[in-house]
């Protein structure tokens, strides 16, 4: 008799465990759906903010650009957005002749997107008139990513002409 009683007690436990598993799976699915929707909204929000950031940079509103860039970075955007934001921060610093800070931002990009980081460093070193370092960075941008090959090669050719003209 005791064996039958024990077997009957296990059935409700198995049903309860099964129900818990189903509820957990449903919870995971619902959370995933909300996360996907939130990511889409955030991407749109990031895009708007990055557009505004570029406008601030282009119009010389360095403080506004820096404040907005830091706000975007605090939102923990995806890698490509981080690259865009650090690029704008580097431009802001470079336009203000704050090349050390611009190089710092470019080095941050280098860790996220190697070709972009090298290309931006090449541009910054060109601005500082350190043409040999600029050529070095453009060569690396050309070698590490096809997206910059043509632009980097053009920059190197222009630097070679500039160096030859200054001799």
pLDDT of residue 40: 45
User: Does the pLDDT at position 4 exceed 60?
Assistant: no
- Band (111; pLDDT cuts 50, 70, 90): very high
Query: Average pLDDT of 117-144?
Result: 94
Mean pLDDT of the chain: 83
Q: Give the burial string for 59-79 (b: 16+ CB within 10 Å, else e).
A: eeebebbbebbeebeeeebee
- The kind and range of the H/E element at 69 are helix 62-74
State the CATH architecture for 44-165.
Alpha Horseshoe (1.25)
Kindly state the average pLDDT of the residues 91-106: 96
Residue 124 tokens, joined: 């910054």
Report in angstroms the alpha-carbon separations of 10 from 13, 15, 24, 52, 72: 5, 9, 21, 63, 54
pLDDT band at 39, cuts 50/70/90? very low
Give pTM, 2 decimals: 0.73
The residue-averaged pLDDT of 83-94 equals 95
pLDDT band (50, 70, 90) for residue 15: low
What are the domain boundaries of the chain?
Answer: 44-165
Q: What percent of the chain has pLDDT over 90?
A: 53
Q: Is 60 exceeded by the pLDDT of residue 106? A: yes
Band (158; pLDDT cuts 50, 70, 90): very high
């Amino acid at each position: 008799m005791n064996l039958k009683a024990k077997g009957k007690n296990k059935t409700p436990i198995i049903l309860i465990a099964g129900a818990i598993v189903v509820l957990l799976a449903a919870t995971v699915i619902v959370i995933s759906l909300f996360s996907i929707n939130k990511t889409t909204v955030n991407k749109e929000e990031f895009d708007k903010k990055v557009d505004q950031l570029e406008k601030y940079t282009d119009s010389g509103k360095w403080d506004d650009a820096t404040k907005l860039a830091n706000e975007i970075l605090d939102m923990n955007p995806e890698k490509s957005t981080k690259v865009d934001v650090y690029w704008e921060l580097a431009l802001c610093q470079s336009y203000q002749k704050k090349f050390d800070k611009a190089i710092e931002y470019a080095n941050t990009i280098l860790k996220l997107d190697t070709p972009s980081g090298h290309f931006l460093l090449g541009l910054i070193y060109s601005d500082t008139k350190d043409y040999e370092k600029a050529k070095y960075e453009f060569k690396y941008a050309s070698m590490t990513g096809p997206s910059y090959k043509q632009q980097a090669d053009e920059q190197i050719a222009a630097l070679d002409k500039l160096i030859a003209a200054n001799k």
